[in-house]
Amino acid sequence: MSNLVRLIAACVILGAAVALCVFGFWGWGILVLFFGGFILLSYFFNENMILTQWFLRKEKPEKAEEWLLKITDYEKQLIKNQHGYYNLLMGLIETRKAPLKSEKYFKKALSLGMKMSHNTALAKLSLAGISMAKRNKREAQMYLSEATKEDKNKLLTEQIKMMKSQMAQMDKQQVVRGGYRQF
């Protein structure tokens, strides 16, 4: 359902709730008020994205992808603030199938912007991992340092430490392949 339809439906239902209360039907008015409030809330927080996040936390990526793919045209169905989060979720789901193909979703999420800094840090950390997979150390270090700066609440410190240790191992493998150590 498009956002315009949700907003119109919420206004009509909230108006009906007020009318019911004015005419003395308080019980029905309050019930319809809650229903209208729920529809208005779904304007700001899309239910498909909420369910996708829930299934990702429960480690059920198939169901998460199923719910996210129900959003057919995210520019019409989501408000502008949610466009970056949609691309972040698409990138996280795509990472499980084809990690190198998810780069475009993370870059688009960063270009569209996200309000929460830890989500920006997650996107940059994922881009650092993709850069490491491509053996682009300079870009990986850049994204990793940006992710460290963005992670103000220290939610991703373990993942950042793990990524740094993997980068150090990548250096050791390059030295071994370069001919310094021969077994």
Q: Which residues contact 144 (CB under 8 A, 6 or more apart)?
A: 124, 125, 128, 160, 163, 164, 167
Q: Are 127 and 92 in contact (CB under 8 A)?
A: no
Give per-residue pLDDT as tens, 41-95. Answer: 988 888 899 999 999 999 998 999 999 999 998 888 888 889 999 999 999 999 9
**What gap in Å lies between CA 156 and CA 168, rounded to an integer?**
19
End-to-end CA distance of the chain: 63
* pLDDT surpassing 70 at residue 183: no
How would DSSP label each residue in 84-135? HHHHHHHHHHHHHH-GGGGHHHHHHHHHH--SSHHHHHHHHHHHHHHHHHTT
Q: What is the DSSP letter of 82?
A: G
- pLDDT at residue 106, rounded to an integer: 94
Give per-residue pLDDT as tens, 129-179. Answer: 999 888 888 898 999 999 989 888 888 888 888 888 888 887 676 655 555
Which amino acid is located at 144 in the chain?
A: L
**What gap in Å lies between CA 168 and CA 181, rounded to an integer?**
17
Phi, psi angles (nearest 5°) of residue 180:
-70, -35
Q: Shortest CA distance to 31 belongs to which of 44, 17, 46? A: 17
The model's pTM is 0.79
